[in-house]
Chain A
């Protein structure tokens, strides 16, 4: 299997007296979709905030491609190739798709914006993900549907040469057809060699798109399962705490 892209060992995070992560072990592999599931308050958000540098971990070891790293800020995480697509997407609706995809990293040509190069790169990034749902890369984001916006937000991370993309509830607000489109996109992201970490409450989505599923229960990682070797009932049992596994690697 080789070394995983990210390997967490005994990671700890507490907020004052409250231990939110109590020694979590966790791995994410390149080219695979890893689902992180768990009930509310299990520590999923805290885990991704630690990975993305928003709220650094208090203890434990983070290995990135076999080397120990200490992620202290979102900028640093981004420089390493870790991109997060948050639930609220953070797009500017008055700007078009190209402008949003390059926001904060505009390409310049003689001191001015190089619209042509950005347009071309955005077009290629969307094509590499086989996106067919958007009509024009110069459409304003305000005219896009929820699924299309999600697509733009995900494609933006591809444009930034992400090695790992963390998706926070990417299908939470979407209808059936749009959920399908976004899940296909997630799959293609992994097929392109990117490590995808998807946080979801929707087990149907998890079973459709993920290769591995890890379950958090009250700040501890209680299970790492291969999706093809498990079933819904088992995952639910881990999430609710009615089943637990010891000695998880």
Chain B
């Protein structure tokens, strides 16, 4: 009898101990199961939402919505028009910074089709069956700057509107840069100052 009781006593002892200290091992297993700080109950931009029928958490704004503090009451600045006529001036002073900004934005948004200097021979235009307008025609050299701004804003022909991607001040900077490209491609030697001409001739002779 004693022999039979002994192992039973031993077993119950270890089970009690297991129950008593088991939670230590169990709590170790529960570590790192919580991700609620990693994934908090808020939406990230464009995150999928099961709440809205179309799955969009970023709700499309009602047409003509203006964000708080972003109302601009300047048709010249926003549309390139003054009294239904294309504006002939920029809505702000032209500086070297504006021109540099225009160059960067032109190279980001326009160069692919219109080419580095506006010949209409960008890499996309070279590949596809597209005919891209060159800026260096008599007609386009003489249009108002407001017209160029309007084309960027609303698109023209096969060119889509770029208003959603380029804010108005950058569209004006691009407009200024397009004008500069037109001047540069239509320039003659007489347009250069003596110093500039010397520099140009100098580099040419060095290259030769």
Q: Do A and B bind each other?
A: no
